[in-house]
Amino acid sequence: MASPERVQFDGLRKQASILLETKRYTEAVSYAKRALELFPDDPRLYVLIAYAMARVKNKEAPDWARKAIAEEPNNPLWYGALADTFRFLGNWKETLEPMSKAVAMSPENWQFQSLLGLCLLNGKKFDKALHHLKRALELNPRDPRTYQRLGLVLIRTRHRDEGEQYLRKALELAPDDADIQASFGWQMLLTGKRNEANEAFREALRLNPQMVLPKIGLGDPEGERRGLKDRLFRVSIRLATIPPRVALFVFHFILLELMVVYLLLAYVNNYVQLLQLSPLVIVVASWCFFFLIQPFIVKAVGNRRGAHFI
């Protein structure tokens, strides 16, 4: 028969996990710490605390995951948990080492393979990401998130059509996944399929109204509509996602260079005829500049609002 301490410990641990699942992170930490006072060598509780802390962006979270590793260094789950804490804190660079260790210790675990793929994707190591995501798919061909991640890698490596197919497959497997809807929406937006994109964004927001990426995709403001600033942002979104944007970007860049050279020549040599044209040149140059900075504006506004662009 279990000792009263063990019964109490189990109760506290279960309560802590329920509180974690129900997003009562502070309480979950408190219950887990109480359980740890009874049996301080249970790595599951260290990890539980790590997850709860990471969810509230507490920078101590990785330290708690490390305590679990110290208790049980041969368990790959704890390395995965350490990587997860970094992931929740937005430190993608730090995720690579522990997640690679987890994969090395348990190469047949499709979740580890897929998550390592995600970490590599965020670290812009697309070739390696592709390798691990394909392996994850071999191990579990029904995981929608792996399809989504693979789709994003392929899109970033200029295999747009293939990438889109993977995103569609992910959507087919998990139509209620707001994250996948948002990824799909952005892909549609960047390929000029605005209606399909908007539909995906709205669906993502219906599923999770607080998601930032689809709101940005729709050009919606953060809170209630605030006027000119938001209208300008909508224009920025349109210009930054216009389908032939690479060609247009090059064209505008060259045009801007020419205009700048033109203006410099006119002023340095004081060519009166050229100077008469300068207002028009300034307008054209301003437009080019405005066009060229749009992707940066979208990225800056997105980052300010908490979006994470890969």
Residues near another protein (CB under 8 A) = 7-8, 11-12, 14-15, 17-19, 21-24, 26, 29-30, 37, 176, 202, 205-207, 209-210, 223-224
The phi and psi torsions of 5 (rounded to 5 degrees) equal: -65, -40
Structure-block tokens of residue 112: 């580890």
- In angstroms, what is the minimal distance from the CB of 269 to another protein? 57
CA dist 102 and 85 (Å) reads: 14
DSSP result, 229-276: HHHHHHHHHHHHT-TTHHHHHHHHHHHHHHHHHHHHHHHHHT-HHHHH
Q: Which is nearer to another protein, 207 or 310 (CB)?
A: 207
- In angstroms, what is the minimal distance from the CB of 14 to another protein? 5
- In angstroms, what is the minimal distance from the CB of 186 to another protein? 17
Q: Which is nearer to another protein, 176 or 257 (CB)?
A: 176
CA dist 99 and 79 (Å) reads: 6
Q: Which is nearer to another protein, 206 or 308 (CB)?
A: 206
- In angstroms, what is the minimal distance from the CB of 256 to another protein? 39
The answer to whether 301 and 233 have CB atoms below 8 angstroms apart is: yes
- What 3-state class would DSSP assign to 138? helix
List helix spans (H) across the chain: 4-21, 25-38, 43-55, 61-71, 76-89, 92-105, 110-122, 126-139, 144-156, 160-173, 178-190, 194-207, 212-218, 228-240, 245-269, 272-276, 278-304
Structure-block tokens of residue 225: 């509509």
Type of residue at 131: H
- In angstroms, what is the minimal distance from the CB of 135 to another protein? 25
CA atoms within 13 A on the CB side of 161: 0
Q: Which is nearer to another protein, 128 or 202 (CB)?
A: 202
- What 3-state class would DSSP assign to 299? helix
- What 3-state class would DSSP assign to 124? coil
- In angstroms, what is the minimal distance from the CB of 217 to another protein? 13
CA dist 287 and 282 (Å) reads: 8
- In angstroms, what is the minimal distance from the CB of 272 to another protein? 56
- In angstroms, what is the minimal distance from the CB of 22 to another protein? 4
Q: Which is nearer to another protein, 127 or 224 (CB)?
A: 224
Q: Which is nearer to another protein, 61 or 133 (CB)?
A: 61
Q: Which is nearer to another protein, 80 or 163 (CB)?
A: 80
Q: Which is nearer to another protein, 196 or 220 (CB)?
A: 220
